[in-house]
Amino acid sequence: MLNLEPPKTRCHMIGRILLFVVACAIACPLVAQEPTEGQMQAAARLIDVMHYENSWGSVSEQIIQGIYPPGSDTSKFVIESQARMREMFAKQFRWQDLKPEYVRLYASLYTEAELRQLIAFYESPVGQKMMRLGPQMTARLLAITQRRMMAVAPS
């Protein structure tokens, strides 16, 4: 049973403080560990091999198409809204600004060895095919989801 009473002696208080410090010391590396230079380099290579820069334009366009599906309202408001969104994406979501954040994310989630395995996969023919078909796959998956949402949407 957990004892929640205040410590009765100075020794008890020091013991609790030490226990707290040890617990924090054990937990901190699990929570906030900076990626190594090797992880950062491998993550940057992975991002390049995955052709994120080339696919970023189609991703942003898919986001816009998800909000304003083709064949939907073509009013002046919708057309102007699409144009404003494209302009916003061009200014606020520039690849050269996003890439360092993507690299840091991958480096923080994968070990250097795991990143090198991912690089090997994405350099393989099937990995390249996966990347080449990625936008088409995403568009088709989005269409399936939209079709199902329309089936359950109130009229």
Which whole number is the average pLDDT over 32-57?
A: 89
Q: Is the pLDDT of residue 59 over 80?
A: no
The alpha carbon of residue 94 and the mean position of all alpha carbons in its chain are separated, in whole angstroms, by: 16
Burial class (CB in 10 A: 0-12, 13-18, 19+), 126: exposed
CA atoms within 13 A on the CB side of 73: 11
pLDDT above 70 as % of the chain:
72
The answer on pLDDT for 6 being more than 70 is: no
What pLDDT sits at residue 74? 73
Average pLDDT of the chain? 80
The pLDDT, as a whole number, for residue 41 is 98
Torsion, Cα of 3, 8, 11, 12 (10° steps): 10
Q: In this predicted model, what pLDDT tens digit does every residue of 78-134 receive, in sequence order?
A: 788 888 888 888 888 888 888 999 999 999 999 999 999 999 999 999 999 998 898
- pLDDT tens track for 143-154: 899 889 888 888
Q: Tell me, what's the pLDDT at 126? A: 97
Helices then strands (H, E): number in the chain?
A: 7, 0
Please state, in angstroms and rounded to a whole number, the distance separating the CA atoms of residues 43 and 100.
10
pLDDT at position 25? 53
pTM over 0.75: no
* pLDDT confidence of residue 28: 47
- Which pLDDT does position 127 carry in this prediction? 95
